[in-house]
Structure 1
């Protein structure tokens, strides 16, 4: 497919919106992670750390360098995509995709299909009501990040399972949906925490991806924006798609680390990011030509 056959760009080439302020986000809240670490016993923290959702805590430990300008440029390179849960961006004349498949590759999260992802029939049990009251949260609302932080200072006398529930709710609120700290989370998804084993195995990757991509698609990139959800996955997506660029600008960690989310330190404040991203297209075309003649 030649460039002229691609759908139109969201922004005219060469006239993409220039980033003014850094893209705002709510994920990887240091106050929340710090509060959880103080609230949980060492073995409780370790259990969550080594669980399927522990990838977020391991990511936090990287002190990942957020590169807002890099993500902004990648999003302004978008072409019109009618698929609700896909983004396509053109790097020069090379299209790269961000979909549930790439998100799963990057994060290693469970992105499996379930019939009722919204859990519309989940009832309020007596145990759930008691735990919500213990946290000091309205029984008809999912706990906000602020409410979870506040509960962390009052949980020393709780049972081990209840502190684990608090820890998993912190990951749900602070990384998976990562919305404004004072905003209530989805009540049905939050209630799943009463079954600790079921909570760990739920396809949270699908929830995290949908929340992120819905937030991205509703933004006007010509304005200052905040993105909800685990926005750092978009930066790692750039590294995923542009390997030579990633080697120079992503501060890759040694050895073959999986998932890819944990393979880069990220970088802040690099100059000429856009020019170096577009240079990648030349590299890709040269590689393609080499493969043809090999």
Structure 2
């Protein structure tokens, strides 16, 4: 185990960098609204459409994820994470990420890192060497739809991806640049529809989990820790795997489509605070036996 039991009651503020609520609000509130083509591109995207279907929660509920991180087991296999809760192993692997998110988690296509081109970046940022999240947002908010040009849609896709799926690790003056791969691949919007964003977001999240373990080294220190990346599957994992937690803190989302993944079908119950206190999670957890729910088969991306 990375953390001894003496650390399990220690809480910390996890600062997620998955800006789903803010990103969708920005897209909805542009001065020049998304036109029909741009809106349909997102809403009919085989993967991104699920994020538009989700309940619009202003705040992430991350203490369930923190409870799991405190119980992470040391494993040689680095392609998945395991947590031990009340003597039972809980896995966060590609299957869990897929079934909760509905994103495409198949293998990467060959030479995917060379997909697209720099043509879009050169047109819109004109020699700017470092392109950060705020640069993309500012540019998007000023863009006007132009006939026969898809550059505003490309900018919206970069904003969407860097807000939700592959978010920055730092903000402010020290903000990290937008991933160069994202800037290249949006030049080919068809490639963007078929690329396994679930696989990329999962690998990114595993890297952040490993970075978190390396940072704390078995001792909870400080009061704030950033968690960049698409954390929603990890956010739901404890409540999906532990039935008592799910019964206590989750409820069905009535507007969900039957073909939607699990993150669209459930939402967190309203509580007095912005998040779920760690103490309430422990009270509901107690000594309950942990068991996985029965999952359906993998989703289709046809």
Superposition TM-score tier, normalisation by shorter sequence: 0.7 to 0.9
How far the C-alpha of 1:70 sits from its partner, in A, is: 2.0
Which residue number in structure 1 is paired with residue 238 of structure 2?
Answer: 238
Deviation at residue 139 of structure 1 after TM alignment: 6.4
Alignment of 1:69-218 (within 5 A): 69-114=63-108, 116=110, 119=113, 121-122=114-115, 124=117, 128-129=118-119, 131-136=120-125, 138=127, 143-159=131-147, 160-179=149-168, 180-181=170-171, 182-218=175-211
1:278, CA displacement in angstroms? Answer: 4.2
Superposed counterparts of 1:279-294, under 5 Å: 279-281=287-289, 284=291
- In the TM superposition, residue 265 of structure 1 has moved relative to its aligned partner by 1.8
* Structure 1 counterpart of 2:5: 13
Shift >6 Å, 4+ stretches: none
Could you tell me how far 1:272 is from its partner in structure 2? 2.2
Residue-by-residue CA offset, 1:80-128 (whole Å, 9 max, x unaligned)? 1222121111110111100111101111111111254761x4574xxx4
Task: Let me know the Cα RMSD of the aligned residues.
Answer: 2.8
Q: Residues 277, 257 of structure 1: CA spacing in aligned structure 2 closer, same or farther, 3 A cutoff?
A: farther
Q: TM-score, normalised by structure 2?
A: 0.78
Equivalent residues of 2:43, 2:49 under 8 A apart: yes
**Residue of structure 2 in register with 1:56 after alignment:** 51
- Name the SS of the counterpart of 1:95 in structure 2: strand
Deviation per CA, 1:150-208: give whole Å up to 9, x if none. 11222114345222212221221111111135421221333111111111110111110
Q: 1:64 to 1:85 in 2, by over 3 A?
A: farther
Alpha-carbon distance in 2 for matches of 1:185, 1:137: 16
Partner Cα distance (1:163, 1:218) in 2: 35
Query: In the alignment, is the contact (CA less than 8 A) between 2:245 and 2:281 conserved in 1?
Result: no
Instruction: Name the stretch that deviates more: 164-173 or 39-48.
Output: 39-48
Task: Name the TM-score, length of structure 1 as normaliser.
Answer: 0.80
Distance in 1 separating the partners of 2:126 and 2:101:
30
Q: Specify whether residues 197 and 132 from structure 1 end up closer, same or farther in structure 2 by C-alpha distance, changes over 3 A only.
A: same
Gaps of 5+ in 2: 270-274, 294-302
Is the Cα–Cα contact under 8 Å of residues 121 and 184 in structure 2 kept in the other structure? no
- Going from structure 1 to structure 2, the CA distance change for 1:29 and 1:260 (only over 3 Å counts) comes to closer
Structure having the larger proportion of residues in helix? 1
